[in-house]
Amino acid sequence: MIIWSLLLFAASGLANIVLLGQNGPPRLKYSVVQGYFKQSNLATNDRKYDALRDSFGLADPSPHRWYRFRQNIHALNVNAPEGVRYVVLYLARHGQGYHNVAEKFFGQEAWECYWAMQGTNGTSTWGPDAKLSPQGHSEVARTSKAWISEVPYGVPLPESHHVSPLSRSLSTLVETWKPVALNPPRPVCHELLRETLSLHYGDKRSKASYLREAYPQVEFPIEEDDPLWNFHRESETGRNNRIKYVLDEILNNDLNTYIAMTSHSGVINSTLVALGHRPYAVQTAGVLPVVVKVERDPEWRGEVLWRKKEPWEVPRVEERSVCPGYEPVQVSGRYVNGMGVWPYS
């Protein structure tokens, strides 16, 4: 096993926690520092490029690549003006889950119109809280080996971890890092760091008590029951606002330089929007590193970017079809399926 670097992790302790008021975290401004990773280059084909076989996409191919990278990031921070810092985000996607298998089996239309609101077809189970499939576990093992292979070259391991509350992401995080690290920093679960909010049963999280028992390595500052499932289908704009909100929350509080976030394709897509990064499809169990310039947003005047709807604002559950010709399902109010245009934010 390889000892996890704990340098600078103490910097994110209680003394540096930013107290959040009713308006949420202070809004931050992000921009991508180009030239370090191939994925930020538009010439890189995200459907074909396998970053796990290429030092996670680091542009420098030399044997001293990661040492040079660390020196460059250190220099950026040493020379940064007041109020500016540079971080490296490792954006990790969970391995294949049973819900991914089911969607492929049924097809997108049947999935969005009926099966996503179910938990099983009697043969396979994907809800609630879809777990990793056997292929998903294999994918995660491959990612873990990719990290191990880069350690001799000085790859900077994450100094802190943030993770979705859904089991497939939690299992991905634990299985990725257990073979790599002896004493890793304790990951923190974030309720908002989750897939598009909807009635997809595979996206309904487990009770917090179950998660604490199943993943004792992780800190769970969350409610016992899932407060966000049984919701309107979240729009892309709504998801972008939610992820920007939680990203601001994380980076206002976590003062480390190398930060890992293990979540979902939708979360990563919205994170890239917030960062100003080109669209990039991260495959299951993939990792997308991004060098980010972080600064306070000078235009922020205390506006709330995102808030959860109160219970009385969410229409009651009813049984009806969400697509013509499909069997009725239990849905909330005027729920719209993922095949069409959803008007809710």
- As annotated, the active-site residues are 94, 195
Q: Is the dihedral of CA 303, 309, 315, 317 positive or negative?
A: positive
Query: Do residues 163 and 193 lie in contact, with contact meaning Cβ atoms separated by under 8 Å?
Result: yes
Q: Which residue blocks in 12-88 are alpha helix, DSSP H?
A: 65-78
How would you write 93-136 as a 3-class SS string? Answer: ECCCEHHHHHHHHHCHHHHHHCHHHCCECCCCECCCCCCECHHH
Taking alpha carbons only, the member of 94, 87, 315 closest to residue 194 is 94
- What's the gap between Cα 120 and its chain centre? 25
Q: Which residue type, as a one-letter code, is found at position 209?
A: S
Six token digits for residue 170? 């939690």
| Helix-then-strand count for the chain, H and E | 8, 8
- The C-alpha atoms of residue 161 and residue 166 are separated, in whole angstroms, by 15
Cα radius of gyration (the chain): 20
- How crowded is the C-beta side of 243, counted as CA atoms within 13 Å? 29
CA 311 to chain centre: 26
